[in-house]
């Protein structure tokens, strides 16, 4: 029912949550804190690891250098106590703080960029 009412309507993540990102070697973390319980439930449903991977797709290494087996390039964790989701984005920093030639070597911009992720509107 909710879905049918919201078809076609889009909002951005910044409407539902605030964010903070940081680096962990060549990986980035993206914390997404919902503004409300309804927003948290909505994010759990729609802000999947796949959605985050799709949004940040151009930033990942083209080849997987890590030999550690990872089913996907983004992993999602839940923090129900503060109604937040945490994403780990593997091998997304072009070498990380030490080696990366990017201006943003430490994933500082990821949290601001993520505010533009589009999602179905809250029902």
Binding region for other proteins (CB under 8 A): 14, 18-27, 29, 31, 33, 55-59, 65-68, 77-82, 84, 86, 88, 91, 95-99, 101-104, 108-113, 115-116
Taking the least distance from each CB to other proteins, the nearer of 2 and 66 is: 66
Q: Can you read off the two tokens belonging to residue 52?
A: 């985050």
Query: Cβ 8 to other proteins, closest distance in Å?
Result: 21
With beta carbons less than 8 A apart as the criterion, state whether 33 and 84 touch. yes
Q: Is the CB of 42 or the CB of 110 nearer to other proteins?
A: 110
In the complex, what is the shortest distance from the CB of residue 69 to other proteins, in angstroms, rounded to a whole number?
A: 10
Return the number of the residue (22 or 120) whose C-beta is nearest other proteins: 22
Nearer to other proteins, 2 or 118 (CB): 118
């Amino acid at each position: 029912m909710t879905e049918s009412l919201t078809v076609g309507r889009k909002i951005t993540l910044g409407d539902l949550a605030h964010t903070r990102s940081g680096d962990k070697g060549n990986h980035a973390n993206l914390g997404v804190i919902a503004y409300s319980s309804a927003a948290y439930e909505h994010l759990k449903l729609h802000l999947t690891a796949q959605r985050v991977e799709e949004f940040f797709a151009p930033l990942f290494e083209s080849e997987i250098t890590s030999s550690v087996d990872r089913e996907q390039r983004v992993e999602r964790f839940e923090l129900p106590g503060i109604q937040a989701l945490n994403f780990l984005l593997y091998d997304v920093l072009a070498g990380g703080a030490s080696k990366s030639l990017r201006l943003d070597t430490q994933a500082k911009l990821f949290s601001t960029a993520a505010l533009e992720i589009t999602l179905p509107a809250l029902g």
